[in-house]
Amino acid sequence: MASVAYSIFILSLFVFTIVNLHPVSSEFDEYFFIFGDGLYDSGNTEYIIPDEYLPVYHSPYGNTYFKHGTGRYSDGRLIPDFIAHKVGFPDFIPPALNTSANFTYGANFASEGASVFDIQQNNSLNFRNQVRHFIELIKEWRADLQNITEVNRRLKKAVLLINIGTPDILNANITSNTTDAQLETITTEVIGNISDKIKVLYDLGARKFVFQTPPPLGFLPYVKQTRNDSIISVKLNIVALLVVDELYAALMEIKQLNPAFNFTIFGDFFPIFWRVLLPPLFGFNESRVACCGNGTVRGQGCGVLGYEYCVCGNKTEYLFFDGTHYSEAANKQLVELMWDKKSGYIVPYDLKDFFEISNSTSLKSAT
């Protein structure tokens, strides 16, 4: 009996130690995971292709805010950075592939060019691989916290921000001859592959999903420069709109089977549509030409070795920083629209609902 009592004593010491090492109710109690492509990538690409020269680690990328390249595809902060700041996270959410980072509050799995399809990508993490890294991270949470209830509580509270599918639509070889039925097929395949992975994330315990849907892709300087065909632009814009409808239907289907599933959709189409058409209304001087790149609309080549490219003077005047990514000034505006559903662009909930931030608590406003 004595030895059993002794074992219990030792065990209780052990439990006590674990509880002390990992307090289950740390002061800050918000969790944030990010999935997507270059719009959200905060440095993962560096770890995927460490031997390649990456323009995003060099000027002019990052110059506006960080004063140096950080792996972000913009002149400064990205959408997840502004969100982290508004919610009050102690720091930006780190790229998941930086194994020396601290993932207590979440991780960013996004990677430039990420495909929604299960294709092999040597330069990027496709969506399935992003989900795979998420599964690994949750295993680490379980090992660290030694408390499944607590891990599940955090997962339930966590907000998952997802923007995926744009590279696939741009790579789908849409021509002026592509039929409406083919556009539908592309959309259905993209949404089917998103839906698949959302179910996996839900089964792991995640509950709050925020989706950002594509902008009018035909308006991207990169598309204007490399395709230069107004019919192709219109077709790309149609796909961007089809994605919203189909995504909503697919998510409603998941919700019908799983009432605890919670989602909201930020439609990026109209915010960008209006900023491209009427830039001065939103404080921009230039919305058709990117800040950095080559060619007439600077649609490509920003920072690429061996090519000449231009860089604008005042980056806050530009909607696009390079041919496919927004300027920091634009990212900041988009987060304001996602933060409060009164903007009309995020339905049915907004970020402050999902992070459960009451409007009485004083928020640090992103500057």
Ligand X SMILES: *[C@@H]1O[C@H](CO)[C@@H](O)[C@H](O)[C@H]1NC(C)=O
How is residue 108 annotated by DSSP? Answer: E
Containing 34, the helix (H) or strand (E) segment is strand 32-36
**Which position among 150, 184, 286, 340 is part of the footprint of ligand X (CB under 6 A)?**
150
Indicate the residue type of 342.
K
Rule CB under 6 A: say whether 3 interacts with ligand X. Answer: no
**Which position among 66, 88, 104, 282 is part of the footprint of ligand X (CB under 6 A)?**
104
For ligand X, give the closer residue by CB, 184 or 189.
Answer: 189
Q: CB of residue 134 vs ligand X: minimum separation in angstroms?
A: 18
Number of H helices, E strands in the chain: 12, 8
Rule CB under 6 A: say whether 343 interacts with ligand X. Answer: no
Rule CB under 6 A: say whether 108 interacts with ligand X. Answer: no
For ligand X, give the closer residue by CB, 212 or 324.
Answer: 324
What does the buried/exposed string (b/e) look like for 37-51 if buried means 16 or more CB atoms within 10 Å of the residue's CB?
Answer: bbbbbbbbbbebeee
For residue 275 the two structure tokens come to: 């900023």
Residue nearest to ligand X (CB): 192
Contact call for residues 321 and 74 (beta carbons, < 8 A)? yes
CB atoms within 10 A of CB 234: 12
CA gap 340, 331 in Å, rounded:
15
Containing 348, the helix (H) or strand (E) segment is none
Interacting positions 223-242 with ligand X (CB under 6 A):
224-225, 228
x/- letters, 159..178, toward ligand X (CB under 6 A): ------------xxx-xxx-
CA gap 224, 102 in Å, rounded:
40
- Interface segment toward ligand X; rule CB under 6 A; list 198-206, 267-275, 310-318, 333-341: 310-318
Rule CB under 6 A: say whether 317 interacts with ligand X. Answer: yes
> What is the bridge-based pairing of β-strands 208-213 and 106-108?
unpaired
CA gap 277, 287 in Å, rounded:
8
CA gap 32, 172 in Å, rounded:
31
Interacting positions 110-139 with ligand X (CB under 6 A):
117, 120, 122
CA gap 278, 34 in Å, rounded:
30
For ligand X, give the closer residue by CB, 297 or 335.
Answer: 297
Interacting positions 29-88 with ligand X (CB under 6 A):
43, 46
Q: CB of residue 229 vs ligand X: minimum separation in angstroms?
A: 8
Q: CB of residue 265 vs ligand X: minimum separation in angstroms?
A: 13
Rule CB under 6 A: say whether 286 interacts with ligand X. Answer: no
- Interface segment toward ligand X; rule CB under 6 A; list 126-134, 212-220, 241-249, 290-298: 290-298
For ligand X, give the closer residue by CB, 3 or 122.
Answer: 122
Contact call for residues 41 and 111 (beta carbons, < 8 A)? yes
CA gap 198, 74 in Å, rounded:
28
Containing 175, the helix (H) or strand (E) segment is none
For ligand X, give the closer residue by CB, 339 or 354.
Answer: 354
For residue 327 the two structure tokens come to: 């300027």
**By the criterion CB under 6 A, which residues form the site for ligand X?**
19, 24, 26, 43, 46, 90, 98, 100-102, 104, 117, 120, 122, 147, 149-150, 153, 171-173, 175-177, 189, 192-193, 196, 224-225, 228, 259-260, 262, 283, 285, 294-297, 300-301, 304, 307, 314, 316-317, 349, 353-354, 356, 359
